[in-house]
């Protein structure tokens, strides 16, 4: 959806000055591209020019065909026998707009696949992805040999590449390649951007936090950046029971934002005024849907206890808060069982998703992706989290709150997060924003620090949206269709996104809907949306993580 903005493309084509006509075949010629490979772009990087491939390809958007050169090459690091591959889509010169874009991955992947480069083509940007040195673009970090060299032995070079270094090198190489291919002189400004969500959001933050002048703008969604804390564990009520609790919560909380549209735009008001225990004793009913049996029953006190425990977030046996959870009205997708055991008549414990490989591989250092929960308590979880945080503080835990170099270089960040994200808690983005505000503007009042920070870093919570995507449980919610457009306008034309442009694509309120910037919250009065300051609501997003004796940014 990021790359579906045909209007953005047409606008760009119109403003791009015609250049000396090089055909895409000339631009993509192997010996020409070879002559553009950037030596000395990054310390220690040694390009293997024999690995270069370049071929003309095209991408159709609506009635427009975009031509580009698909460039791939490998490099190693001086003194190491390693190999990292990078892949850039280099647009036809007629619509190159003096832009470079880095893209990131998701889950345990460091890139978003063979078409990741389409993200930048509508914006006239050379667009890059990396394989991180994982031996192929399709391998992920939890591949044997990548994260661990063998049972017991961590692969520190790969950890460092995945943590931040591969992205840094891809950006430096990509920027220089772009300058060489189009013959940009030192006096020509090449605008550099980053776009990614989830793990890709973490990867982007890893750059913004360390390399202040590398990107002019970064679009960072639902970042998986508080790496140690994300390893949540689920429980076992029936899927239909969870779904009924969710639907009832959405129905009860929908009107609290002032408009009945099937969207809980104010999960904070939901948290303040809705108690799921009112649902105990109401019935639920779901038809069979292979492989799941038909389910019906009465919502039990036990199921409500499970849901309330999830909503409360992880606490240790002393009742101290270790982490926070999803917002009320987020789906329980990550905690919902998918298999039923006919002989016991019980639901199996849901899959542990990324928690299992993380605990096994990065805590226990064993090459397996399955984990038994026998003997695991909330205190075990807390201890794993503290261990992960300390061991990976300088690689995977990506929450360094001092962004001074980025700010001083004039960088801009648009950070967004679905308010009903069912994977990475929405409050985790709020916590980081608050950390940056307090570290960058110590001693200022809340309002003053937030208005200062909002001049260059803005956080948008997308009403009803799920994890990096719209949400089937609240389908009438807005979602930004082309947020890179907002970022580019901010960086290149100084148009601050006071609100973020988004679109409702279903239901009675189809059309544009602006998204309020944190800490303001949306409130409807019939059809009018206001972004309001609501201290009681703001307070619900703040947590005292007292299970730690040190700061958790």
Among 366, 373, 444, 469, binds ligand NAG (CB under 6 A): 366
From ligand NAG, Ca ion, none, interface partner of 263 (C-beta below 5 to 8 A by class): Ca ion
Nearer to ligand NAG, 58 or 404 (CB): 58
Identify which range of 35-43, 147-155, 194-202, 252-260 contacts Ca ion by CB under 5 A: 252-260
Nearer to ligand NAG, 390 or 512 (CB): 512
Catalytic residue among 421, 428, 449, 450: 421
Range 205-226 burial, b when 16+ CB lie within 10 A, else e: bbbbbbbbebbbbbbbbbbbbb
421 binds Ca ion (CB under 5 A): no
Report the nearest approach of Ca ion to the CB of residue 253 (Å): 8
From ligand NAG, Ca ion, none, interface partner of 473 (C-beta below 5 to 8 A by class): ligand NAG
240 binds ligand NAG (CB under 6 A): yes
Asked if 379 is an active-site residue, the reply is: no
Distance CA 105, CA 46 (A): 24
254 binds Ca ion (CB under 5 A): yes
Secondary structure string (H, E, C) spanning 321-388:
ECCCCCCCCCCCHHHCCCCEECCCCEECCCCCCCHHHHHHHHHCCCCCCCCCCCCCCHHHHHHHHHHH
From Ca ion, ligand NAG, none, interface partner of 486 (C-beta below 5 to 8 A by class): ligand NAG
Report the nearest approach of Ca ion to the CB of residue 252 (Å): 11
Identify which range of 53-61, 206-214, 225-233, 324-332 contacts ligand NAG by CB under 6 A: 53-61
Residues in contact with 330: Cβ distance below 8 Å, sequence separation at least 6, in sequence order = 267, 420, 421, 422, 426, 466
Range 493-526 burial, b when 16+ CB lie within 10 A, else e: eeeebebbbbebeeeebeeebbbbbbbbbbbbee
Can you point out the beta strands (E) in 81-182?
84-91, 99-103, 125-130, 148-150, 153-154
126 binds ligand NAG (CB under 6 A): no
Among 257, 316, 334, 419, binds Ca ion (CB under 5 A): 257
φ and ψ at residue 505, rounded to 5 degrees: -105, -5
444 binds ligand NAG (CB under 6 A): no
Asked if 168 is an active-site residue, the reply is: no
Residue with tokens 């890709």: 200
489 binds ligand NAG (CB under 6 A): yes
- 479 with 502: CB under 8 angstroms? yes
Measure Cα distances from 451 to 282, 403, 412, 446, 458 in Å.
46, 16, 14, 9, 10
268 binds Ca ion (CB under 5 A): no
Nearer to ligand NAG, 383 or 534 (CB): 534
Nearer to ligand NAG, 343 or 536 (CB): 343
Binding to ligand NAG in span 157-216, by CB under 6 A? 185-186
151 binds ligand NAG (CB under 6 A): yes
From ligand NAG, Ca ion, none, interface partner of 61 (C-beta below 5 to 8 A by class): none
- 236 with 319: CB under 8 angstroms? no
Report the nearest approach of ligand NAG to the CB of residue 209 (Å): 25
Tokens of 271: 């948290």
Residues in contact with 182: Cβ distance below 8 Å, sequence separation at least 6, in sequence order = 93, 96, 98
CB neighbourhood size of 443 (10 A): 7
Distance CA 10, CA 397 (A): 40
Identify which range of 36-44, 224-232, 338-346, 371-379 contacts ligand NAG by CB under 6 A: 338-346
Nearer to Ca ion, 509 or 548 (CB): 509
Binding to ligand NAG in span 94-123, by CB under 6 A? 114-115
Identify which range of 44-52, 57-65, 188-196, 323-331 contacts ligand NAG by CB under 6 A: 57-65
3-state secondary structure of 124: coil
From Ca ion, ligand NAG, none, interface partner of 302 (C-beta below 5 to 8 A by class): none
From ligand NAG, Ca ion, none, interface partner of 254 (C-beta below 5 to 8 A by class): Ca ion
Report the nearest approach of Ca ion to the CB of residue 526 (Å): 12
Of 106, 58, 110, which Cα lies nearest the Cα of 86?
Answer: 110
Report the nearest approach of Ca ion to the CB of residue 259 (Å): 5
Distance CA 86, CA 512 (A): 37
Burial (CB count <10 Å: 0-12, 13-18, 19+), residue 460 = buried
Catalytic residue among 54, 112, 192, 198: 198
CB neighbourhood size of 125 (10 A): 30
131 binds Ca ion (CB under 5 A): no
Nearer to Ca ion, 425 or 522 (CB): 522
Among 161, 263, 299, 330, binds Ca ion (CB under 5 A): 263
Handedness of CA 236, 240, 241, 247 (dihedral sign): positive
Distance CA 442, CA 238 (A): 48
Residues in contact with 308: Cβ distance below 8 Å, sequence separation at least 6, in sequence order = 276, 277
70 binds ligand NAG (CB under 6 A): yes
Asked if 421 is an active-site residue, the reply is: yes
Catalytic positions are 198, 421, 467
- Binding residues (CB under 6 A) for ligand NAG: these are 53, 57-58, 65, 70, 72, 87, 114-115, 137, 151, 185-186, 240, 243-244, 247, 275, 277, 284, 286, 341, 343-344, 366-368, 447, 473, 485-486, 489, 501, 512, 533
Task: Kindly list the residues in this chain that would bind Ca ion in the complex (CB under 5 A).
Answer: 254, 257, 259, 261, 263
């Amino acid at each position: 959806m990021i790359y579906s903005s045909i209007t953005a493309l047409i606008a760009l084509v119109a403003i791009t000055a015609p250049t000396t006509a090089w055909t895409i075949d000339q631009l993509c010629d192997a010996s020409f591209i070879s002559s553009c490979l950037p030596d000395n772009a990054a310390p220690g990087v040694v390009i293997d020019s024999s690995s270069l491939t370049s071929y003309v390809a095209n991408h159709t958007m609506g009635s427009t065909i975009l031509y580009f050169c698909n460039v791939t090459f490998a490099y190693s690091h001086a003194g190491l026998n390693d190999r990292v591959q990078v892949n850039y889509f280099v647009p036809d010169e007629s619509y190159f707009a003096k832009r470079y874009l880095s893209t990131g991955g998701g889950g345990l992947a460091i890139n978003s696949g063979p078409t990741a480069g389409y993200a930048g083509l509508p914006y006239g940007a050379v667009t890059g992805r990396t394989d991180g040195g994982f031996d192929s673009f399709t391998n992920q970090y939890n591949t044997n040999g990548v994260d661990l060299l063998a049972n017991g032995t961590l692969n520190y070079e790969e950890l460092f590449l995945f943590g931040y270094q591969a992205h840094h090198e891809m950006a430096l190489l990509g920027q220089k390649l772009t300058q060489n291919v189009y013959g940009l002189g030192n006096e020509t400004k090449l605008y550099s951007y980053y776009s990614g969500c989830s793990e890709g959001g973490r990867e982007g933050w890893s750059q913004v936090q360390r390399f202040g002048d590398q990107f002019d703008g970064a679009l960072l969604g639902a970042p998986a950046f508080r790496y140690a804390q994300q390893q949540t564990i689920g429980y076992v009520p029936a899927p239909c029971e969870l779904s009924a609790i969710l639907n009832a919560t959405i129905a009860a909380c929908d009107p609290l934002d002032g408009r009945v549209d099937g969207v809980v735009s104010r999960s904070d008001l939901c948290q303040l005024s809705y108690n799921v225990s009112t649902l105990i004793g109401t019935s639920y009913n779901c038809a069979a849907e292979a492989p799941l049996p038909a389910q019906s029953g009465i919502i039990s006190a036990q199921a409500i206890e499970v849901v309330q425990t999830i909503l409360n977030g992880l606490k240790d046996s002393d009742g101290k808060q270790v982490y926070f959870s999803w917002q009320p009205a987020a789906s329980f997708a990550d905690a919902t069982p998918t298999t039923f055991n006919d002989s016991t008549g019980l639901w199996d414990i849901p899959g542990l998703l990324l928690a299992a490989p993380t605990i096994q591989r990065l805590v226990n250092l064993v090459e397996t992706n399955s984990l038994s929960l026998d003997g695991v308590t909330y205190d075990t979880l807390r201890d794993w989290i503290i261990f992960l945080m300390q061991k990976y503080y300088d690689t995977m835990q990506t929450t360094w709150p001092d962004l001074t170099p980025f700010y001083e270089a004039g960088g801009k960040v648009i950070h967004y997060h679905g308010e009903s994200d069912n994977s990475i808690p929405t409050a985790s983005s709020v916590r980081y924003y608050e950390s940056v505000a307090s570290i960058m503007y110590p001693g200022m009042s809340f309002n003053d620090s937030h208005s200062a920070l909002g001049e260059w870093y803005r956080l948008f919570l997308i009403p009803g949206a799920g994890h990096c995507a719209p949400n089937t449980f609240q389908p009438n919610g807005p979602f930004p269709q082309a947020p890179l457009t907002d970022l580019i306008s901010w960086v290149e034309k100084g148009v601050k996104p006071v609100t973020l442009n988004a679109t409702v694509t279903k239901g009675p309120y189809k059309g544009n809907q602006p998204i309020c910037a944190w800490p303001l919250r949306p409130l409807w009065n019939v059809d009018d949306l206001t972004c309001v300051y609501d201290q009681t609501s703001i307070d619900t997003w703040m947590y005292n993580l007292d299970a730690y004796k040190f700061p958790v940014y």
